[in-house]
Amino acid sequence: MKRKLFSMTMAVIMGLSLAACGSGGDQKPADEGNTAVEDKTDAPSDEGSSDESTPAESDDSASGEVANKDKPLVWFNRQPSNSSTGELDMAALSFNNNTYYVGFDANQGAELQGTMVKEYIEANIDSIDRNGDGVIGYVLAIGDIGHNDSIARTRGIRKALGTAVEKDGDINSDPVGTNTDGSASAVQDGSIEVGGKTYVVRELASQEMKNSAGATWDAATAGNAIGTWSSSFGDSIDVIASNNDGMGMSMFNAWSKDNNVPTFGYDANSDAVAAIAEGYGGTISQHADVQAYLTLRVLRNALDGVDIDTGIGTADEAGNTLSEDVFVYNEEQRSYYALNVAVTSENYKDFTDSTKIYEPVSKQLDAGAHPSKKVWLNIYNASDNFLSSTYQPLLQNYDDILNLEVDYIGGDGQTESNITNRLGNPGQYDAFAINMVKTDNAASYTALLNQ
């Protein structure tokens, strides 16, 4: 376990370059490419703690005198960025001195997911090819073709399984529809060699799981897709990969559990972790316990007017602190990224409760020194499995510890206005935490704060 964590951390520190570097002005999204690279420009983990970036001046917020545009703002889970190119929206990320993003390291997680699937195939090579045709076929559930994290995960799977093809200097992340004959141009047939024998690996099908109303990462759509796919080429499906557990579990319950087809997701939601005992292949923890803490902690620090690293890289007076193996801070991107851990049959028992707060940051802040403040926070889609079953319960545990009174607003996952309509009176709040429907839409929120 320890060794795994260590090597994972190393991989992150190397791989972070991509997430970390807006090298040469052109901001790269946190998911661009999956390879560990050379050009480590700025400030990963270790520099996070020396960040004297922009301590809050708005510590008098309780008075209600602070303009909305100057109040602390954290974007989380959906990083302001161009949904076609992935380019970070730096205007939104640096909206004011107390603006940050909290997410996780998409490249490192994607690489872990891809490796987990590949290693599973290798370890189970004798039984994995269900119809014995020498082709290991997999299907892939894609969350949102315009979401950095989703794109990274699609690339991670294709890279690890050898099915990736390049497009514009990066791995093509387009869905292929169906590709049972191997003719799709967005992927190629890969190969895996085990015990002197070479197997073809084919992406038989992939699709963005978006419902007719426009909600992405849609679990029900994934359940329907596996129904369609399995009825026409079920014998060829040997592995299922999904950009998240919500969709993965839907496919598992609809088909793959009964057919003993290993299914791999992402998020380490409690139900998915429990399903590992029943044949779910594995998942990735994106350390939601760390992200949820960071989401509220940066607001707390800004409201208190203390160094932003307090209780993060630097212990606070209660003793809360995060170690470098669970997060990195990229100053140039004003972004905190939690690090990922693979959850498989070997270690899943350590991850059974995804809503449990992270012990190193579990100590109550003193209400005298950190008086209650009001936070407006939205979840883009109240029925997103990860956000509703893992992230929000964690936020609700941390808000008490941090003396924050948070109003939780659940969106419909389809329209930004469904959420922004409920930010009618920002003057009532001391700080804001925003999870956009679409990563391009930061201005819909900042416009309201600018009024």
Can you give the binding site for ligand BGC, defined by CB under 6 A?
77-78, 143, 149, 217, 244, 246, 266-267, 384, 386-387
Q: What is the DSSP letter of 38?
A: S
- In angstroms, rounded to a whole number, what is the distance separating the alpha carbons of residues 109 and 39? 19
CB 450 within 8 A of CB 72: no
Q: How many CB atoms lie within 10 A of CB 364?
A: 12
DSSP secondary structure, 196-233, as one string: TEEEEEEEEEEEE---TT--SS-HHHHHHHHHHHHHHH
Q: Which of 295, 289, 297, 304 is nearest to 57 (CA)?
A: 304
Tokens at 141, concatenated: 């559930």
Tokens at 438, concatenated: 């679409």
Nearer Cβ to ligand BGC (163/286): 286
CB of 344 to ligand BGC, least distance (A): 17
CB of 441 to ligand BGC, least distance (A): 13
Nearer Cβ to ligand BGC (54/444): 444
Nearer Cβ to ligand BGC (242/420): 242
CB 370 within 8 A of CB 304: yes
- In angstroms, rounded to a whole number, what is the distance separating the alpha carbons of residues 78 and 172? 21
Nearer Cβ to ligand BGC (12/136): 12
CB of 244 to ligand BGC, least distance (A): 3
Nearer Cβ to ligand BGC (124/253): 253
CB of 134 to ligand BGC, least distance (A): 33
CB of 319 to ligand BGC, least distance (A): 29
Nearer Cβ to ligand BGC (96/216): 216
Determine whether 408 is exposed, middle or buried from the number of CB atoms within 10 Å of its CB (0-12, 13-18, 19+): middle
CB of 438 to ligand BGC, least distance (A): 10
CB hemisphere CA count around 120 (13 angstroms): 30
Angle of CA points 109, 92, 388, to nearest 5°: 50
Nearer Cβ to ligand BGC (23/388): 388
CB of 245 to ligand BGC, least distance (A): 7
Nearer Cβ to ligand BGC (11/288): 288
CB of 288 to ligand BGC, least distance (A): 9
Burial 296-316 (b: 16+ CB within 10 A, else e): bbbbbbbbbebbbbbbbbbbb
